[in-house]
Structure 1
Amino acid sequence: MATEAHGGEEGGLVFHPMDQFIVQPLFGDGAINMFTVTNATLWLALTVLAVIALMVLGTGKRAIVPSRTQSIGELAYGFVYKMVEDVTGKDGVKYFPYIMTLFMFIVFANFLALIPMSFSTTSHFAVTVVLALAVFLTVTVLGFIKNGASFLGLFWVSSAPLALRPVLAIIEIISYFVRPVSHSIRLAGNIMAGHAVIKVFAGFAAIAVISPVSILAITAMYGLEVLVAFIQAYVFTILTCVYLKDALHPHH
């Protein structure tokens, strides 16, 4: 986390908080290609296995008196179902399985990244952009399938004065196509920033004078990151519900 640099006449501690985000081959040190198994591959696979373990294996018995695992699964199910129903209405409930899968994947990826020596997959735009684009394309196609050309009414603010409507339409179109950018950057940026700060504090822990303060800072940041891990999954999911609502009911 911290190494001592001896360059010329100067020396000091050099931190590399961003090294933890480097994608590396899991076996060997060769170049990374399409079929190389990397640390990102491993933790993405572990995320999927964790979701399956909770939602399939953990709730498979469906006991009247639920186990702890079943209780967590049922709480997650009820939480996301209520979110979808409240935001999108009854019409959006049929898309609940997709939104539930999205939430569980992100929340498990975020929490697994808090394990020491793990890899944070949701700090990479390669992951979050794919998730955001999948949502964007899905709701856009769904909007046209459900509403036809009237889906374009999403961009026409009929309640505004007539003279302002063309200007507002341009703004609405720009904001619509910016959605996948903000959707992906919000998740990756928050996760990356928190992990980088923890790494910096961990580097300062090597200095005896400020080590106690650094450890307290790490503890506080870790607690905050636990909260952020859930909040960012929630924000990503509820924005998905908002975009779905626009696709189902495009008229202002």
Structure 2
Amino acid sequence: MSTENATEEAGGLVFHPVDQFIVHPLFGDGAVHWYTPTNVTLWMALAVLSIIGLLVIGTRGRAVVPTRTQSVAELAYGFVHKMVEDVTGKDGLKYFPYIFTLFLFIVFSNFLALLPGSFSTTSHVAVTAVLALLVFCSVTALGFIKHGTSFLGLFWVTSAPAALRPVLAIIEVISYFVRPLSHSIRLAGNIMAGHAVMKVFAAFAAIAVVSPVSVIAISAMYGLEVLVAFIQAYVFTILTCVYLKDALHPHH
């Protein structure tokens, strides 16, 4: 993480922990448009290249005794495959490639963001919202394609008393359309908060009196962020599986 913004002004320490999330163009200092290559573009591309390196280059030998890279790729494949099967059932395995791609993109983006001088792409709601909306629109379309209007049964709680069903239906509809919002903000918020806290501790490392404590705090936070990087990718993926299960089995 970058710490160059910690400066001492007017007798106090001034630092800007959110500066690390600013989007800027890779070339020049002009305005950022939708077609402008930015630091976000760069680190998303690096995440994609890392995935290609792991799955294509790392497993091209297909050795009986796998290399370390092949072992990691097989472990990731088996982990997500079992998750999809356990949550959605055998019917959901045909959508495994999409879910596996989501998981790898998020986990690589999260871990690359822990490199010094890197940029955290998943700390931006603009990125996570696109991922969440793709999931939301896909599973909703799938639900109507497979079940037609009976997919609306997802919102009608037949096990509840008849008088409560209309109220519960309204609650279910609201909670369903809030899904992409919570799905995206959960990931972006956790990643942004962790990186901001690390930046704050890093800024205090410049003060001799609190420097040892700051270094210990940064180390602890970095270890925690390593866990968060994986856990948030896991949470995003398993929620995708849950939403897919609702589309495949709306009456269960």
- Which TM-score band (shorter chain)? over 0.9
Helix, strand or coil for the counterpart of 2:221?
A: helix
Q: CA deviation at 1:45?
A: 0.3
Inter-partner Cα distance in structure 1 for 2:138 and 2:105: 18
Give matches, 1:98-109, under 5 Å: 98-109=98-109
Single out whichever of 89-98 and 56-65 deviates more from structure 2: 56-65
Give matches, 1:135-174, under 5 Å: 135-174=135-174
Helix, strand or coil for the counterpart of 1:61?
A: coil
Give the structure-1-normalised TM-score: 0.97
Q: What is aligned with 1:3?
A: 7
**Residue 29 of structure 2 corresponds to residue 26 of structure 1:** no
Helix, strand or coil for the counterpart of 1:162?
A: coil
Helix, strand or coil for the counterpart of 1:4?
A: strand
Inter-partner Cα distance in structure 1 for 2:211 and 2:101: 41
Give matches, 1:22-101, under 5 Å: 22-101=22-101
Inter-partner Cα distance in structure 1 for 2:199 and 2:251: 47
- Percent identical across equivalent pairs? 80
Residues 103-157 of structure 1: CA distance to partner in whole angstroms, max 9, x if unpaired? 0000000000000100000000110000000000000000000111100000000
Number of matched pairs: 248
Inter-partner Cα distance in structure 2 for 1:179 and 1:131: 12
Give matches, 1:91-240, under 5 Å: 91-240=91-240
Inter-partner Cα distance in structure 2 for 1:70 and 1:60: 9
Inter-partner Cα distance in structure 2 for 1:245 and 1:31: 43
AA aligned to 1:62 is R
Helix, strand or coil for the counterpart of 2:163?
A: helix
Q: CA deviation at 1:4?
A: 1.3
Inter-partner Cα distance in structure 2 for 1:13 and 1:126: 31
**Stretches of 4+ aligned residues off by more than 3 angstroms:** none
Inter-partner Cα distance in structure 2 for 1:200 and 1:34: 31
Helix, strand or coil for the counterpart of 2:164?
A: helix
Single out whichever of 170-179 and 48-57 deviates more from structure 2: 48-57
Inter-partner Cα distance in structure 2 for 1:182 and 1:76: 25
AA aligned to 1:115 is L
Residues 160-199 of structure 1: CA distance to partner in whole angstroms, max 9, x if unpaired? 0000000000000000000000000000000000000000
Q: CA deviation at 1:31?
A: 1.0
AA aligned to 2:195 is H
Inter-partner Cα distance in structure 2 for 1:59 and 1:231: 25
Q: CA deviation at 1:30?
A: 1.0
Inter-partner Cα distance in structure 2 for 1:27 and 1:228: 32
Inter-partner Cα distance in structure 2 for 1:35 and 1:140: 30
**Residue 14 of structure 2 corresponds to residue 14 of structure 1:** yes
Inter-partner Cα distance in structure 1 for 2:35 and 2:166: 48
Q: CA deviation at 1:34?
A: 2.0
CA RMSD of aligned residues (A): 0.6
AA aligned to 2:8 is E
Q: CA deviation at 1:36?
A: 1.3
AA aligned to 1:171 is I
**Structure 1: which 5+ runs fail to align?**
none
Inter-partner Cα distance in structure 2 for 1:168 and 1:34: 41
AA aligned to 2:87 is V
